[in-house]
Amino acid sequence: MDTRFPFVDWFRNSSPYINAHRGRTFVILIEGEAMARGRGEQLIQDLALLHTLGVRLVVAFGIRPQVEQALSEAGIVPHRHDGRWVADEAIMACVERVAAEQRLWLEARLSLGLPNTPLHGVELTAVSGNLVMAKPLGVREGIDYDHSGEVRRVRVSAMQGLLDRGSLVLLPPLGFSSTGEVFDLDAAEVAQHAAMALAADKLILLGEAAGLYDENGALQRQLTPAEAEPLLAHAAPGSEPARHLSAACAAARNGVARTHLLSWHDHDALLGELFTRDGVGTMITRHRYEQLRPAQLSDIGGLLELLEPLERRGMLVPRSRERLEHEIDDYLVIERDGMIIGCAALHRFDEAAMGELACVAIHVDYRGGARGTLLLSGVERRARRLGLEALFVLTTHTAHWFVEHGFRAGGIEELPPLRRDTYNHARKSKILIKPLV
């Protein structure tokens, strides 16, 4: 009887990320629409889980739909310009009231101990206050924005002290001036400046969309600001896509290691992005420090340098420059700052609907991470796109690693005929096979 639980495999695979995120600072934006649509309770459970895992949390929250409802009930029609409303006294009264109500609701939920959930008994100390200093937008294009403002600075020392004491910091979309005024702010801008001031490890923006898409409708997993910013031209001023994309790109250019665009509609988005290898949304980073990509002829020199030590130790079959040039289209490489630090090849045997995973190599200075798994996943995706039904590998040193990644022992009779005929009996390589269907 099969007693395995899918959760166990997920937990094992997530353990490197659990360790990597401990002690890190994350700034998370939750838009008001998520709360208005009943997603608040689940998100609070996820925040509590992150807190128990040692993540330092700053949570900014939006209130737009709640304010719009309050204005409608009061019979107030706001004047908008360039995506922002002009916050006069009547509008500002609604903004302040709704912000206070939303903050109190969040603090109350974070104080419950999360009854009837797997995190029952977890205690969170949520702290808010005058942590964001603001200035008025002023008069622009002849429009006086009154109490609509923009972030001047965040009180980073105070926020760091709260985080050091284990508190979760709440940031409403309000800012305060040195003269005692209160200003209506864009929640995405608040999150952006908090992340930049704290040099946060991550800025996570939870909105309507699951991320950024290309012209074919495919989700973009990783972009640089230079690649993402042209999409701003197609976003309406003040719209959520414009606000989130602007915040993400600015943060990535100003010291935030990773920014993530996720959808609050997906109940698994936050944890799925943080604790799985491929993630679920779009990540924006200033530089592609490291990327998995198809190999090019210009990579031959780097491949030879990477493979030579392994060939010398007998772990890989020697490959000449001419052979690499001939087979270059079969290779995937991991490039880090212009250096080839990993590679793997997929040799096709279409008549048997199989592919050979070959030449898996990681530079000695970059082992111990998940790069081998990244290469394997890339080869598997390519094999499935090509319609292959199984992968096989011949190895003399690393059979245990392949078994851990879903391969099983096989016999020579299971190899494609062409590969069976060229099998080197002198090397006594172990044959391992992994189904893809």
In a domain, residue 1? The reply is no
Q: How many residues does the chain have?
A: 437
Is there a single domain that holds both residue 65 and residue 214?
yes
Instruction: Residue 384: give its domain's CATH number.
Output: 3.40.630.30
Q: Which of the listed residues 243, 272, 288 is the one where a domain comes to its end?
A: 288
Which of 288, 313, 344 marks a domain boundary?
Answer: 288
Residue 309 to residues 169, 177, 292, 315, Cα–Cα distance (Å): 50, 62, 22, 9
Q: Are residues 231 and 180 in the same domain?
A: yes
Residue 216 forms part of a structural domain: yes
User: Same structural domain for residues 180 and 229?
Assistant: yes
Domain boundary among 265, 288, 311: 288
Per the structure, the complete domain to which residue 314 belongs is given by 291-435
Question: Do residues 245 and 344 both lie within one domain?
Answer: no
pLDDT confidence of residue 289: 59
Same domain, 277 and 368: no
pTM value? 0.66
Instruction: Decide: 334 and 341 in contact? Cβ < 8 Å.
Output: yes
Same domain for 171 and 276 = yes
- Contacts for 364 with CB less than 8 Å, ≥ 6 apart: 309
Buried b vs exposed e over 349-379: b needs ≥16 C-beta within 10 Å? beebbbbbbbbbbbbeeeeeeebbebbbbbb
pLDDT tens sequence across 8-48: 666 666 677 787 888 999 999 999 998 888 888 888 888 88
Are 334 and 424 within one domain?
A: yes
207 and 342 within one domain: no
254: CATH: 3.40.1160.10
Return d(Cα 181, Cα 41) in angstroms, integer.
Answer: 32
Number of domains within the chain: 2
pLDDT (tens digit per residue) in 379-416: 999 999 999 999 999 998 889 999 999 999 999 999 99
Which amino acid is located at 55 in the chain?
Answer: V
| Co-location of 215 and 310 in the same domain | no
On whether both 298 and 239 belong to a single domain, the answer is: no
**Pair (302, 412) in one structural domain:** yes
Q: Is the pLDDT of residue 337 over 70?
A: no
Q: What is the pLDDT confidence band of residue 1, given thresholds at 50, 70 and 90?
A: very low
In a domain? residue 374: yes
Q: Rounded mean pLDDT of 185-206?
A: 94
Q: What is the pLDDT of residue 369?
A: 65
Query: What pLDDT digit, counting tens, does each position of 59-82 carry?
Result: 999 999 999 899 889 888 888 877
Does one domain contain both 163 and 299?
Answer: no
